[in-house]
Amino acid sequence: MKSAPSTTGPIESLLGQPETLPAAAAEAIARLLPNEPIRVFALADLDVRRRFSPTWLAVTDAHVVLAAPKDGAAAGGSASDWGTTAFPIGEIESIETFDGIACCWMTLLAAEKRPLATVQYTRRQGRAIGNVQFAAEQIRKRQKEANGGAALAGNLDPRNDYQEAVLKSVKEAQASLLTQKMGILLRLLSYMRPHKKAVAIGFTMSVLMTLAVLIPPYLTRLLVDNILRPVERGSLAAPEAFRWLWMTIGALAAMLALGEVMSFVRLRVMAIVGEKISMKLREDVYGHMQKLSLAFFGSRPTGTLVTRVSSDTDRLWDFITFGFIDMVMAGFQILGVAVALVLQDWSLALAVLAPVPIMIAMFYVFGERLQVLFLRIWRKWSSMTAVLSDVIPGIRVVKAFAQEDHEVQRFNEKNLAVEQEAEILHREWTRFWPRVMMLMHTCTLLVWVIGAPRVLRHMQSGGAEGMPLGIFLAFVGYMWLFWEPVQRLGMMSRAINRVTTSASRVFEVLDTVPTIANKPDAAATPPLEGRVAFDNVTFSYDGVRNVLRNVTFDVTPGEMIGLVGPSGGGKTTLVNLICRFYDVKDGTIRIDGRDVRDLDIGSLRRQIGVVLQEPYLFHGTVAENIAYGSHGASRRDVIEAARAANAHEFICGFPDGYETVVGERGQTLSGGERQRISIARAILHSPRILILDEATSSVDTETEKKIQEALKRLVSGRTTFAIAHRLSTLSAANRLFVLEAGRLIEHGTHAELLAKPDGLYAKLHKTQMELHATIAV
């Protein structure tokens, strides 16, 4: 890769840091260690006083080197401006890294943990620093094995490694959003494409309506100049005049009637199209949402997601039905009337049209301002709905702690914030509107000032000069027809901005790319045997803290694995990875020998069953809940499954039997009942791989026994991963995996693990036995 210092790359432009190790620093390092090429380098961007200032770290075949600009020297410059310190890798016993809130630091430690050096850096450097740490550790390992002198595998491109490491987060963020070149409104209009015919009808009607509106003032002019005035002057006979009069009135009536019909057709057609489009949008948004990964839902309050599917899409209906066509129509009318005005009298027309550019500028500036205001309101609004969706599911806790008043107050605060924000908005546009009106009224006055004297002159001169009365009247009529759509557009700018805010919320969901997606060539997963293998799996939710580190194991089909260890050890994360709710950061997970990332997600998950600590039941009957995920199960299958789950007895005890409706989240049932229904669900689903996440942790002993029996039936013949805190519940497990701080520290059978006197499992077991003994006493 050729370096081109004149052009700035993405690291420079997006993150404001050098694209690569500065040449002067590289030279300074080369002077210190003449025969050692740099293998890896990274930037530590905080100095000792925690100011942004570069310290470069480089790893050569035998040293870790720090290079920082000398005091007073500007970064860059020449090699002599850089101070360098080298540490022989042989002397570095270990390298430790720590995370603060925003500052991370890495310490090089010699024997007996004597610190050699510490560098501080921000998270964006974390990956590159990790590369440096890894390389140094690798070299050290090889030195020990080969008794010194072994170099790191060649063919390294330090510059490329550094750039990739620094840019990874940025690239991931960019990949998480599809780039949309189209403007929001245009994109919304693209939804009209399937309804071309209806939209065309709506359009035609609107254009015709506009034309129909242009006729009446012209009729006024005919009435005055060709009928009334000639009769007054005596140049037109009465019978002739009446014939003309009735024809004019008839034309007016016909125009009005036509206008009515057209407006009816337009409204009917567009209201229905609008509803269809918002339905399609809701369908798309909800459909896409279901495809998105768990991480997307984890980072957003439920309330804002509900708002996007429901009220945001509804707001778009308004726009499609009325707003869009109205806007186009108003545009047409303005153009049409402008032409009519010029045709009547161009000099007067100028007085009306002159302020239009000013108004357009005003509307534009105001629109920009509104956009910001609506975004602010939207944020307040979703923070208000977030309170609702947070509190209502937890209403039992609220009542139990008698916090109703507190919750009401919390909601009212958010509600008030919405109102205050809206007040700012209303103040803005009510301030804006009178200015537009004033401009309009000034123009009206101007037309009278210029026009009326000319009409008077026309009358005094007997038509020799000036302007006929009819033209003046028609002109005034047209002028109002001109202001009316301008006013409408102005009013609409508020609605349009509101719609663009809503539309952008909706499109934001549609533009989010699922982080877990099928590969394009992913074939449907064949029926699984159930072999699960982890190979050096490392995982992190936030890309910073590793929740699983280098986990490796192999589970044969039908084996039952108990996962034990302190909470936060990574047990749930491990099963989440088997379900492929997330993708590994490093290493691979293989199911039946195939990388899970190559399998079709849907058909993979259909073969995995999950029984959770808090079973989630949906609103519906017991039978529907058992058959969830197994469409087409017969009633006999449902009952068999319930029987195997020890649930049949109590379900038959309900007056409505299997047709008992359980409320949302199954609140009408007891914890043990819910649990057994969810076990029945898993039995009916008949997965090849089963995950039990603390399935028996929240029930009494009697119920636990029943659940244990049910689980035993469920587990047989399936690869099972069971998480449990009570070790006694894992008696059926073939092997136990002990996870601590993300590492698989022990594995083996119950007896094997007990045999390790200082093992974690032996310790946990001992504590629990003691606890049981105390309870027994």
Q: Which is nearer to another protein, 132 or 224 (CB)?
A: 132
Q: Which is nearer to another protein, 101 or 238 (CB)?
A: 101
x/- letters, 478..497, toward another protein (CB under 8 A): --------------------
HSE value, Cβ hemisphere, 13 Å, CA-based, for 637? 15
Contact partners, residue 749, CB within 8 Å, separation at least 6 = 734, 735, 736
Burial 354-367, CB ≥16 within 10 A → b, else e:
ebeeebeebbeebe
Single residue of 100, 453, 663, 717 touching another protein by CB under 8 A: 100
Contacts 24+ apart (CB under 8 A), 71-76: 75/22, 76/22, 76/24
**For the chain, first and last CA: distance in Å?**
74
- Which one of the spans 541-549, 628-636, 672-680, 696-704 is the region binding another protein (CB under 8 A)? 541-549
**Residues linked to residue 595 through DSSP beta bridges, in sequence order:** 590
Residue where the block lists tokens 């009209």 = 192
Give the E-state strand segments of 398-439 in sequence order.
none
CB of residue 300 to another protein, shortest distance in Å: 9
Helix (H) or strand (E) holding 648: helix 648-653
Q: Which is nearer to another protein, 312 or 592 (CB)?
A: 312
CB of residue 392 to another protein, shortest distance in Å: 22
Which of 414, 377, 362 lies closest to 500 in space, CA to CA? 377
Q: Which is nearer to another protein, 179 or 430 (CB)?
A: 179
Is 75 near another protein (CB under 8 A)?
no
Residue 410 exposed, middle or buried by CB count within 10 Å (0-12, 13-18, 19+): middle
Q: Which is nearer to another protein, 177 or 769 (CB)?
A: 177
Q: Which is nearer to another protein, 505 or 605 (CB)?
A: 505
CB 697 within 8 A of CB 674: no
CA 729 to chain centroid: 40
Q: How far is CA 208 from CA 189, 320, 455, 485, 595, in A?
A: 22, 19, 32, 15, 63
Q: What is the DSSP string of 661-700?
A: EE-GGGTTS-HHHHHHHHHHHHHHH--SEEEEESTTTTS-
- Which one of the spans 113-121, 183-191, 460-468, 573-581 is the region binding another protein (CB under 8 A)? 113-121
- Radius of gyration of the CA atoms of the chain, in A: 38
Which residues in the 334-373 window bind another protein by CB under 8 A?
Answer: 372
Q: Which is nearer to another protein, 120 or 546 (CB)?
A: 120
Q: Which is nearer to another protein, 107 or 310 (CB)?
A: 107
Single residue of 254, 544, 652, 755 touching another protein by CB under 8 A: 544
CB of residue 377 to another protein, shortest distance in Å: 11
Backbone angles phi, psi at 542, to 5 degrees: -105, 5
The C-alpha atoms of residue 560 and residue 721 are separated, in whole angstroms, by 6
Q: Which is nearer to another protein, 59 or 108 (CB)?
A: 108
Which of 57, 59, 60, 84 lies closest to 73 in space, CA to CA? 84
Q: Which is nearer to another protein, 289 or 375 (CB)?
A: 375
Helix (H) or strand (E) holding 96: strand 94-99
Neighbours of 587 (CB within 10 A): 17
Contact partners, residue 615, CB within 8 Å, separation at least 6 = 666, 674, 675, 677, 678
Helix (H) or strand (E) holding 441: helix 404-460
Is 51 near another protein (CB under 8 A)?
yes
The C-alpha atoms of residue 756 and residue 746 are separated, in whole angstroms, by 10
CB of residue 310 to another protein, shortest distance in Å: 19
Q: Which is nearer to another protein, 107 or 668 (CB)?
A: 107
Q: Which two tokens mark 268?
A: 């009917």
Contact partners, residue 136, CB within 8 Å, separation at least 6 = 59, 64, 89, 92, 95
Which residues in the 721-750 window bind another protein by CB under 8 A?
Answer: none
- Count of residues that bind another protein according to CB under 8 A: 44
SS3 assignment, position 9:
coil
- Which one of the spans 108-116, 332-340, 570-578, 672-680 is the region binding another protein (CB under 8 A)? 108-116
Neighbours of 393 (CB within 10 A): 13
- Which one of the spans 47-55, 433-441, 480-488, 653-661 is the region binding another protein (CB under 8 A)? 47-55
Single residue of 1, 74, 111, 173 touching another protein by CB under 8 A: 173
Helix (H) or strand (E) holding 465: none
Is 542 near another protein (CB under 8 A)?
yes
Q: Which is nearer to another protein, 44 or 626 (CB)?
A: 44
Q: Which is nearer to another protein, 115 or 394 (CB)?
A: 115
Is 540 near another protein (CB under 8 A)?
no
Q: Which is nearer to another protein, 372 or 395 (CB)?
A: 372
CB of residue 266 to another protein, shortest distance in Å: 36
CB of residue 221 to another protein, shortest distance in Å: 51
Single residue of 170, 198, 338, 762 touching another protein by CB under 8 A: 170
Single residue of 74, 102, 400, 751 touching another protein by CB under 8 A: 102
x/- letters, 176..215, toward another protein (CB under 8 A): xx-x------------------------------------
Q: Which is nearer to another protein, 128 or 269 (CB)?
A: 128
Which residues in the 500-529 window bind another protein by CB under 8 A?
Answer: 508
- Which one of the spans 95-103, 188-196, 270-278, 460-468 is the region binding another protein (CB under 8 A)? 95-103
CB 43 within 8 A of CB 128: yes
- Which one of the spans 51-59, 268-276, 689-697, 710-718 is the region binding another protein (CB under 8 A)? 51-59
Single residue of 85, 97, 138, 169 touching another protein by CB under 8 A: 169
CA 724 to chain centroid: 34
Which residues in the 120-139 window bind another protein by CB under 8 A?
Answer: 120, 122-124, 126
Single residue of 288, 379, 594, 597 touching another protein by CB under 8 A: 379
Which residues in the 14-33 window bind another protein by CB under 8 A?
Answer: 14-17
Is 53 near another protein (CB under 8 A)?
yes
CB of residue 418 to another protein, shortest distance in Å: 12
CB of residue 159 to another protein, shortest distance in Å: 20
The C-alpha atoms of residue 777 and residue 767 are separated, in whole angstroms, by 16
Q: Any idea what the Cα angle at residue 420 is, between residues 417 and 425, rounded to 5°?
A: 125
Amino acid at 412: N
- Which one of the spans 212-220, 536-544, 579-587, 632-640 is the region binding another protein (CB under 8 A)? 536-544
CB of residue 739 to another protein, shortest distance in Å: 15
Residues that bind another protein (CB under 8 A): 13-17, 46, 50-53, 98, 100-103, 105, 107, 109, 113-115, 118, 120, 122-124, 126, 169-170, 172-174, 176-177, 179, 372, 375-376, 379, 417, 508, 542-544
